[in-house]
C-alpha cells in the first residue's frame, strides 16, 4: 500500500466502498472492477479497495472475523502474529502483573490489538508513517491504545512498565521496501538485535525489565541470551515464531519451550536447561515419526523421544522411530512398509511393481528435490504411498510408508 492508497481509503467514499465489496477466492476480479468503474469510482480507489479486500480475505486465517474491519499492508500482514498467538503474548504480560506495555515495532497492530483486548494500556510505535497510520486505524475501537510514529531507539524506554519488541526483519527503505526483502542476519534487523536485547536485560529501578522479543523461528540458538526463556510456537503444525521472554514475563524454571496450538488444545514441552539432549540412535522400527517443527527447532527431540519411548534413526536427523503405533499431537506417523537403499532405477521398478501412481516424497538429510525425483520415477499406477528419503549413517535410504 502506498500513502495515496491510504488517503483514498480514508475518504467517506473509500470507507463505504470497502465495506460493500464482497471478495472471495472465486470472485471474478475483472467483472468486479468493471462494475465498480461503471458506478463512477476512480481507478485509484477501485485498485486500493480491491487490494484491501484481497488482503482481508487472506487475513481471515490470522484474524478471523476481525479481519473484515482492519486495514493491511502486504508485508505487515505476512509478519503479523496470528490473533491466537498475540493473545498468548498478552497473557504473559497479564501474568507478570503489569498493566501497561509499549509495543515497539507494532506493524499493523496485531500485538496491540491483543494487549488492548486484555485490558492492558498499550502505546504502539512504528518507524514507518504509513504502517503507523494503518495501526492507528486498526486500534480505533480501543480507548486504551495509542499509536505514534517514532524510531524506538530514540525513545526513553525507562518510562514504560513493560516492553514488547518486534524488530523489522524486512527492508524498510529504498527500492527493496516495496519488495519486502527479508533479512536473516539479526545484526541487520531494525532496530539492531543486540540493542533490543540490551533494553530487555538492563536492570532498572532495582528489578529486571519485563519484556518480550518476537523473532523468526529460525533464529540461531547461540543468539539467545542466557537471561531469556525461549519459546518456539507452532499453530496447527505451522512453525510461526520464536519469542524470548525476560524478567517477570519469563518462567524461572523454563529455558526452552515448544508450544503447539492445535484443534485439540495447547500442548507444551519444556526444558529447564538450554543444553541439548540427543535421542539414542537405533535401527528403524515398524513406525517412523516426524516431530512437530517446534520440537525440532527448540532442540527438544531427545526429551520427546524419552517421554514417548522412541529412538532416533540417525544422529542429526529429525525422525524418530519405534515398534508401537503412537497417537501424539507432537508427531505425524507412518507405518514403514519397505526399507530400500536409495537407488533411483531400482526404486522406479519397485514403485511400478507396487502400482504406485501418487507418491508423497519427504526428505531429511538427503540432497534431493522431491518434484524432480517424482518426475524421474515416472509413476503410472493407481495406488498411493509416502516415500521418506533420509540419511542413515553415511548411506541414504528410501522408506516406502503408509501414513497413519
Contacts of 152 (CB under 8 A, 6+ apart): 104, 105, 125, 127, 165, 191
Quote the CA–CA distance of 100 and 107 in Å, as a whole number. 18
| C-beta separation of 288 from 254 below 8 A | no
Residue 207: its pLDDT value, please? 66
Quote the CA–CA distance of 220 and 186 in Å, as a whole number. 9
Instruction: Sort residue 296 into left (φ over 0), alpha (ψ -120 to 50) or beta.
Output: alpha
| C-beta separation of 247 from 209 below 8 A | yes
What tens-digit pLDDT sequence spans the chain (404 residues)? 888 999 999 999 999 999 988 888 788 888 888 888 899 899 999 999 999 999 999 999 999 999 999 999 999 999 999 999 999 999 999 999 999 999 999 999 999 999 999 999 999 999 999 999 999 999 999 999 999 999 999 999 999 999 999 997 655 454 444 444 455 577 788 888 999 999 998 765 556 799 999 999 999 999 999 999 999 999 999 999 999 999 999 999 999 999 999 988 999 999 999 998 899 999 999 999 999 999 999 999 999 999 999 999 999 999 999 999 999 999 999 999 999 999 999 999 999 999 999 999 999 999 999 999 999 999 999 999 999 999 998 899 999 999 99
Residues linked to residue 213 through DSSP beta bridges, in sequence order: 165, 244
For 360, the grid coordinates are 508423497
Quote the CA–CA distance of 33 and 43 in Å, as a whole number. 9
Of 250, 302, 267, 253, the closest CA to residue 281 belongs to: 302
Residue 179: its pLDDT value, please? 47
CA atoms within 13 A on the CB side of 173: 4
Residue 203: its pLDDT value, please? 64
Quote the CA–CA distance of 36 and 21 in Å, as a whole number. 9
CATH number of 77-271: 3.40.50.150
Quote the CA–CA distance of 279 and 304 in Å, as a whole number. 8
Length in residues, the chain:
404
Residue 184: its pLDDT value, please? 57
Please, what's the b/e burial string for 101-140 (b: 16 or more CB within 10 A of its CB; e: otherwise)? bbbbbbbbbbbbbbbbbbebbbbbbbbbebbbbbbbbbbe
Residue 206: its pLDDT value, please? 57
Residue 205: its pLDDT value, please? 58
Residue ranges of domains in the chain:
3-60, 77-271, 287-403
Quote the CA–CA distance of 362 and 70 in Å, as a whole number. 38
Q: pTM here?
A: 0.89
Quote the CA–CA distance of 213 and 319 in Å, as a whole number. 30
Count CB atoms within 10 A of the CB of residue 154.
Answer: 8
Amino acid at each position: 500500500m502506498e500513502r495515496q492508497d491510504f488517503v483514498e481509503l480514508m475518504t467517506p467514499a473509500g470507507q463505504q466502498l470497502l465495506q460493500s465489496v464482497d471478495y472471495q477466492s472465486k470472485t471474478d476480479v475483472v467483472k468486479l472492477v468493471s462494475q465498480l468503474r461503471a458506478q463512477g469510482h476512480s481507478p485509484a480507489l477501485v485498485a486500493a479497495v480491491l487490494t484491501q479486500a484481497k488482503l482481508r480475505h487472506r487475513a481471515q486465517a490470522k484474524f478471523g472475523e476481525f479481519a473484515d474491519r482492519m486495514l493491511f499492508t502486504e508485508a505487515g500482514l505476512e509478519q503479523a502474529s496470528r490473533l491466537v498467538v498475540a493473545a498468548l503474548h498478552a497473557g504473559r504480560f497479564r501474568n507478570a502483573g503489569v498493566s501497561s506495555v509499549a509495543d515497539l515495532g507494532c506493524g499493523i497492530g496485531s500485538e496491540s490489538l491483543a494487549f488492548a483486548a486484555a485490558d492492558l494500556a498499550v502505546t504502539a510505535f512504528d518507524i514507518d508513517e504509513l504502517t503507523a497510520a494503518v495501526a492507528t486505524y486498526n486500534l480505533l475501537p480501543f480507548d486504551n491504545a495509542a499509536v505514534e510514529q517514532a524510531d524506538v531507539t530514540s525513545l526513553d524506554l525507562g518510562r514504560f512498565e513493560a516492553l514488547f519488541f518486534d524488530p523489522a526483519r524486512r527492508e524498510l527503505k529504498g527500492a527493496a521496501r516495496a519488495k519486502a526483502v527479508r533479512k536473516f542476519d539479526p545484526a541487520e534487523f531494525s532496530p539492531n538485535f543486540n540493542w533490543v536485547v540490551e533494553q530487555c536485560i538492563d536492570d532498572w529501578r532495582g528489578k529486571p525489565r519485563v519484556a518480550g522479543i518476537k523473532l523468526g523461528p529460525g533464529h540461531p540458538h547461540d543468539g539467545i541470551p542466557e537471561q531469556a526463556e525461549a519459546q518456539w510456537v507452532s499453530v496447527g503444525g505451522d512453525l510461526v515464531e520464536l519469542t524470548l521472554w525476560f524478567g517477570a514475563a519469563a518462567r524461572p524454571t523454563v529455558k526452552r519451550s515448544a508450544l503447539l496450538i492445535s484443534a485439540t488444545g495447547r500442548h507444551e514441552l519444556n526444558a529447564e536447561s538450554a543444553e541439548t539432549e540427543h535421542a539414542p540412535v537405533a535401527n528403524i522400527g515398524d513406525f517412523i515419526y516426524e516431530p512437530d517443527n517446534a520440537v525440532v527447532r527448540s532442540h527438544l527431540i531427545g526429551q520427546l523421544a524419552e517421554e514417548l519411548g522412541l529412538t532416533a534413526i540417525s544422529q542429526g536427523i529429525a525422525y524418530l522411530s519405534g515398534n508401537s503405533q503412537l497417537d501424539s499431537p507432537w508427531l505425524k506417523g507412518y507405518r514403514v512398509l519397505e526399507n530400500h537403499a536409495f537407488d533411483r532405477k531400482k526404486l522406479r521398478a519397485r514403485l511400478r511393481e507396487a502400482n504406485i501412481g501418487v507418491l508423497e516424497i519427504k526428505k531429511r538429510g538427503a540432497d534431493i528435490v522431491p518434484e524432480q525425483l517424482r518426475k524421474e520415477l515416472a509413476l503410472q499406477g493407481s495406488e498411493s504411498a509416502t516415500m521418506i528419503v533420509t540419511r542413515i549413517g553415511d548411506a541414504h535410504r528410501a522408506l516406502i510408508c503408509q501414513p497413519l
